[in-house]
């Protein structure tokens, strides 16, 4: 019987889910020591191919720089491993000293994982490790434009599973034909325990609408505020380093600079000195029309490209060696591409009269796009930093560091992660940097420590024996009856 591609792909996913459940039965019986050893060996096996995978991703997608993707693969491998290696994720993970309460980790089960084309290999490594650490199994739905890089990475993980005596079907990827129907079936199947959705807003929304629990991310549109007490030279260096890292493909990277009028000349001077190009008005208009398509979405041809390549594509002239294109702006709207997420080395530049106005501008930018995600502040004034922390609708406020590497935990104390929750304000189920602890359920075992009478403040229950008369226990009701009888005789 011949089936159409959509039917064949749906059946293929169903078969994969069945085999994933069998692998889950095996892994869920492993000890913490066995799981930890497996995670370590998978990490080491993948890390040996970090450069190969990075080059493969750039070759296939055309996004970013392979040298920076090596660092992404390292963040998803050894850096992540050091962060999670001592986590208790299997069996009894916590108990009180009195023995009246303890917690048992339970895998969430089969995980459906969506993989973006901007970070294909690092996302597979990262999600495989955090899933396995919780004794879960995982099935990847690859982005069509990065399927080779994603499938190659999955095969490396499966090789490591086999070498360590683990069921290879603990980690799988949707095969050919790769259809939307297959991804939909994966997300909606009743035997999927959780969806890890990293990708475009449409796919994330579909994950949350699937009927299965989901952890998704929102768009990033983080402003970088340079406050007047900041070390401007260092602040600009951080911003340019971040915005050019892998050509801006990390969603936590800065999308605009906001600063005060008293700093304008100093900031623009540093931007120019460090490789930024302040676009003239005519080029701002020309590039603005190029970065947004007619339907209001970002032009995909700019994603992950260098500043010079984008300028060439848009038909504008920039100095050789330009690292970032900077456009002076006064408006924030969904129709203004400069005030939205741009996964490439383009920055909007806003100048406000004081720090309070800068604060409001940052909020306006985040509400336009990127609520709940990330922003950075460069300042030495702890009072202002605290004010921003209390008011900004973000899950990560990064101080005096780079957005891309700070948000993912490489240059900050945040958990190393490539899936960054945006909280309820960003329509996400969590505001965490996602770790294995987000991929386990906790069974709580609680012993009785009180009786109902204790909850009533020590008062006995009606009819309870609590008085001894001549060595004989009588109830409160009986005592009250005797008292009433004696009082009636005295009258």
Domain map (residue ranges) of the chain: 5-217+435-443, 223-416
Q: For residue 464, report the phi and psi dihedrals to the nearest 5 degrees.
A: -75, 140
Question: Model-level pTM?
Answer: 0.91
> Is-same-fold flag (5-217+435-443; 223-416)?
no
Query: How far, in Å, are 90, 184, 186 from residue 14 at the CA level?
Result: 27, 11, 8
Helix (H) or strand (E) segment spanning residue 486: helix 476-490
How far apart are alpha carbons 415 and 400 in whole angstroms?
A: 18
Three-class secondary structure of residue 215 per DSSP: strand
How far apart are alpha carbons 251 and 27 in whole angstroms?
A: 33
Helix (H) or strand (E) segment spanning residue 71: helix 66-74
Q: What pLDDT sits at residue 202?
A: 81
Q: Active site residue: 251, 344, 359, 362, which one?
A: 251
What is the CATH superfamily name and number for domain 223-416?
A: Aldehyde Dehydrogenase; Chain A, domain 2 (3.40.309.10)
Structure tokens at 213: 């629990």
Residue that the structure tokens 């800065």 belong to: 254
Q: What pLDDT sits at residue 484?
A: 73
Q: Please say if 46 is a catalytic residue.
A: no
- Nearest in space to 173 (alpha carbons), one of 120, 109, 251: 120
CB-CB neighbours of 99 under 10 Å:
8
Overall CATH class of domain 5-217+435-443? alpha beta
- Please tell me what DSSP assigns to residue 164: T
CA–CA–CA angle 377, 321, 51 (5° rounding): 80
Averaged pLDDT, groups of 10, the chain, 491 residues long: 84 98 97 98 98 98 98 98 98 91 97 96 98 98 97 98 98 95 96 91 86 92 97 98 98 97 98 98 96 92 97 97 98 96 97 96 96 97 95 96 98 97 93 98 94 80 55 65 68 57
Q: What pLDDT sits at residue 467?
A: 55
Q: What pLDDT sits at residue 393?
A: 95
Q: What pLDDT sits at residue 491?
A: 57
C-alpha 243, offset from chain centre? 19
Three-class secondary structure of residue 177 per DSSP: coil
- Please tell me what DSSP assigns to residue 382: H
Asked whether the beta carbons of 303 and 255 are under 8 A apart, the reply is: no
Q: What pLDDT sits at residue 399?
A: 98
Asked whether the beta carbons of 255 and 370 are under 8 A apart, the reply is: yes
Three-class secondary structure of residue 102 per DSSP: strand
Q: What pLDDT sits at residue 462?
A: 55
CA–CA–CA angle 86, 87, 91 (5° rounding): 115
**DSSP structure string for 298-334:** BPGGGTT--HHHHHHHHT----TT--EEEEE-----T
Asked whether the beta carbons of 204 and 224 are under 8 A apart, the reply is: no
């Amino acid at each position: 019987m011949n089936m159409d591609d959509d039917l064949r792909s749906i059946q293929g996913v169903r078969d994969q889910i069945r085999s994933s459940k069998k692998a889950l039965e095996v892994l869920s019986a492993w000890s913490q020591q066995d799981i930890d050893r497996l995670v370590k060996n998978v990490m080491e096996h993948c890390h040996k191919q970090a450069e190969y995978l990075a080059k493969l991703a750039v070759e296939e997608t055309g996004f970013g720089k392979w040298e920076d993707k090596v660092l992404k693969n390292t963040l998803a491998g050894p850096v992540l491993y050091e962060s999670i290696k001592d986590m208790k994720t299997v069996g009894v993970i916590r108990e009180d000293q009195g023995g009246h309460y303890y917690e048992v980790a339970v895998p969430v089960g089969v995980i459906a994982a969506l993989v973006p084309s901007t970070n294909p290999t690092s996302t597979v490594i990262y999600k495989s490790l955090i899933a396995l650490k919780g004794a879960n199994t995982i099935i990847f739905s690859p982005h069509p434009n990065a399927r080779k890089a994603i499938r190659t990475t999955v095969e490396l993980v499966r090789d490591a599973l086999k070498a360590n005596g683990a069921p290879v079907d603990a980690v799988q990827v949707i095969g050919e034909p790769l259809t939307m129907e297959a991804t939909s079936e994966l997300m909606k199947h009743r035997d999927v325990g959780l969806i890890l959705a990293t990708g475009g807003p449409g796919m994330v929304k579909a994950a949350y609408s699937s009927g299965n629990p989901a952890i998704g991310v929102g768009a990033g549109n983080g402003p970088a505020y340079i406050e007047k007490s900041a070390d401007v030279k260092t602040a600009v260096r951080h911003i340019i380093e971040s915005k050019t890292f892998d050509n801006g493909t990390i969603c936590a990277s800065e999308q605009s600079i906001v600063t005060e009028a008293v700093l304008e000349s100093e900031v623009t001077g540093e931007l120019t000195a460090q490789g930024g190009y302040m676009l003239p008005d005519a080029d701002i208009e020309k590039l603005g029309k190029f970065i947004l398509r007619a339907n209001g979405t970002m032009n995909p041809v700019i994603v992950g490209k260098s500043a010079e390549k984008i300028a060439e594509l848009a038909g504008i002239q920039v100095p050789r060696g330009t690292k970032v294109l900077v456009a002076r702006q006064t408006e924030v709207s969904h129709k203004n591409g400069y005030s939205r997420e741009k996964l490439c080395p383009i920055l909007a530049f806003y100048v406000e009269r004081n720090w309070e106005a800068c604060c409001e501008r940052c909020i306006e930018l985040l509400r336009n796009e990127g609520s709940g995600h990330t922003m950075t502040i460069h300042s030495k004034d702890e009072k202002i930093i605290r004010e921003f922390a209390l008011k900004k609708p973000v899950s990560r406020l990064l101080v005096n560091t780079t957005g891309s590497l700070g948000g993912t935990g490489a240059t900050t104390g945040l958990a190393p992660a490539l899936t960054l929750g945006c909280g309820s304000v960003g329509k996400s189920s969590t505001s965490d940097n996602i770790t294995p602890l987000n991929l386990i359920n906790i069974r709580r075992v609680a012993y009785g420590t009180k009786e109902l009478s204790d909850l009533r403040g020590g008062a006995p229950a009606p009819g309870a024996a609590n008085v001894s008369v001549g060595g004989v226990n009588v109830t409160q009701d009986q005592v009250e009856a005797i008292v009433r009888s004696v009082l009636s005789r005295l009258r």
